Amino acid sequence: MLKYNDKLLMLVFTILVLTGPIILAPFGAGYPDLLQRFVIFGILAVGYNILFGLTGYLSFGHAAFLGVGSYSTVWMFKLLTMNIIPGIILAIIMSGLFALLIGFITLRRSGIYFSILTLAFAQMSYSLAYSVLTPITNGETGLQIRLADARILDAKNDSGSLPSTNLFGLEMNDTWRTTFMGMDLQFNVGFYVSAFILIAVFYLSIRIFRSPFGLMLRAVKTNQNRLMYTGINTKPYTLAAFVISGMYAGLAGALLASMDPLAGAERMQWTESGSIVLMVILGGASTLLGPVLGAGVIKYFEAIFSRINDNVLHEWFDILPGFLETFMVWIVHPFVGKGWSLTLGAVFMIIVIFLPGGLMEGANRIGKRFVKLKRGSADNAKTPAE
C-alpha cells in the first residue's frame, strides 16, 4: 500500500492550484473562465468522491444539487446583495436539505436500484425547474438578475448597468493581466476565491477520508452485512455521506452562479450528473487527488477540443501534400469541434479498460516503475562491491 504524506500532498495541491494561471497558460487554458471551471468542478468532484469513492454508492443525480445551489445563490443576488457570501451559505443549506430528502428515500436501496432512483429524482428536479416551478426558476429562460431586483442590503444602483458579483467589494470578474515570457497571464479574483474554497474543502475531504467516519464509509463499500452485524447502523452513515457530497455540489453550484449570475434548468440535466461520474472515474475514484484531476481533464477537453475547427486542422496538417491534408482533416474532423465528446468517450474507454483506477493509477504505476528503476540501478551499483 502506498502511503501518502498528507501534509506534503496538501502543500503540493495548494501550490498547484494557486499557480494554476501560470502553469496552465502554455496549454491555452490560462484564461479566467476555464480556470474557474477547473476549480469549481474540482469542488464538485471532490464532494462526489466522498459518496462514490468511499461508500461505492453511484449517484446519478448530483447535478440536481448543483442546480439547487445555483438557484439559491441567484435568488440571494436578487433579494439581498451581490456579495456572494449569503448566496453561498444559502446554497449549502438548501442543497443539504434537498440531499437529506432525496437521500432519505433513495438510500433505502443500494446498487443499481439506488442509481436509478437518484437518476429519477434528478430528472424530476429538472422537470420541476424547467416548467412547474417557473415562478422560482424562471423556466427555460433561466433565472437572471435584473436592475429592478430588490437587493435590500446593497446601495441603490443608479448606473443603469447590472451590478456584478463581489466579495465585500472585490469584484469576481476583476482580472489583473500581465505578460511573462511572451505568455499572457490572467489573475482573476473569481478564480482565486474559488481556489481558496477548493483548497479548504479539499482539506476537509482529507480529514473525512482519514477519520473513523471515513473508515466506516469504506467498510460500507466492502461489506455492509458485516457492518450491520457489528452493531453499526449503516443508513445514517451513508445518508451523512450523501448529504455532505450534496452540500459540496451545492457549493459548486453557488460558485458557478457567483462567477456568472444566472441559473438554468439545463444545469440539472442527467447528462450533467453523468459527467460528474465521468470526472471521478476518469481521475480515480476513492483517491484524494483523482477527482480534481478528472474534472480538470474533462473541462479542458470541453473547452479546448470544442474550439478546434477545420481551419485549425488545415493549419496543423499544412506540411502534408494536398490530398493527404484533406484526408487527415476528414479523419480528425469528427473528433474535434462539435464532436469533442467523441474524443472524450474514446479517452474514457481507454482509461477504464487499461487503468481501472483512473489517471491516479496511471500516475502510481509510473511512480512505482520510477522507484523500481532507481532501486534497480542502486542494486547494480552495490553488487560488484560485495
**Which parts of this chain interact with another protein (CB under 8 A)?**
1, 207-208, 210-216, 218-219, 221-223, 225-234, 236-237, 240
Nearer to another protein, 110 or 341 (CB): 110
Q: Shortest distance, CB of residue 361 to another protein, whole angstroms?
A: 15
Shortest gap between Cβ of 236 and another protein (angstroms)? Answer: 4
**Residue 220 vs 279, nearer CB to another protein:** 220
Q: Name the minimum Å distance from CB 238 to another protein.
A: 11
SS3 track for the chain: CCCCCHHHHHHHHHHHHHCHHHHCHHHCCCCHHHHHHHHHHHHHHHHHHHHHHHHCCCCCCHHHHHHHHHHHHHHHHHHCCCEHHHHHHHHHHHHHHHHHHHHHHHCCCCHHHHHHHHHHHHHHHHHHHHHHCHHHHCCCCCEECCCCCCCCCCCCCCCCCCCCCEECCEECCCEEEEEECCEEEEEEHHHHHHHHHHHHHHHHHHHHHHCHHHHHHHHHHHCHHHHHCCCCCHHHHHHHHHHHHHHHHHHHHHHHHHHCCEECHHHHCHHHHHHHHHHHHHHCCCCCCHHHHHHHHHHHHHHHHHHCCHHHHHHHCCCCCHHHHHHHHHHHHHHCHHHHHHHHHHHHHHHHHHCCCHHHHHHHHHHHHHHHHHHHHHHHHHHHHC
149, three cell numbers: 431586483
Q: Which grid cell sits at 316?
A: 496543423
Closer to another protein by CB, 226 or 338: give it.
Answer: 226
Cell numbers given for 280:
471521478
**In the complex, minimum distance from the CB of residue 10 to another protein, in angstroms, rounded to a whole number:** 14
Residue placing its CB nearer to another protein in the complex, 33 or 361: 361
52 is written with which cell numbers? Answer: 462514490
Q: Pick the closer one to another protein by CB: 235 or 333.
A: 235
Nearer to another protein (CB atom), residue 221 or residue 333: 221
Least distance CB 235 / another protein (angstroms): 8
Closest to another protein by CB, 12 vs 228, is 228
Q: Which is nearer to another protein, 58 or 145 (CB)?
A: 58
The residue whose grid cell reads 459527467 is 275
Closest CB to another protein among residues 88, 216: 216
Nearer to another protein, 223 or 309 (CB): 223
Q: Measured from the CB of residue 18, what is the shortest distance to another protein in angstroms?
A: 25
Query: What span, in angstroms and rounded, lies between the C-alpha atoms of 231 and 246?
Result: 27
Burial of 328 (0-12, 13-18, 19+ CB in 10 A): middle
- What CA–CA distance (Å, rounded) separates 96 from 110? 21
The C-alpha atoms of residue 342 and residue 328 are separated, in whole angstroms, by: 17
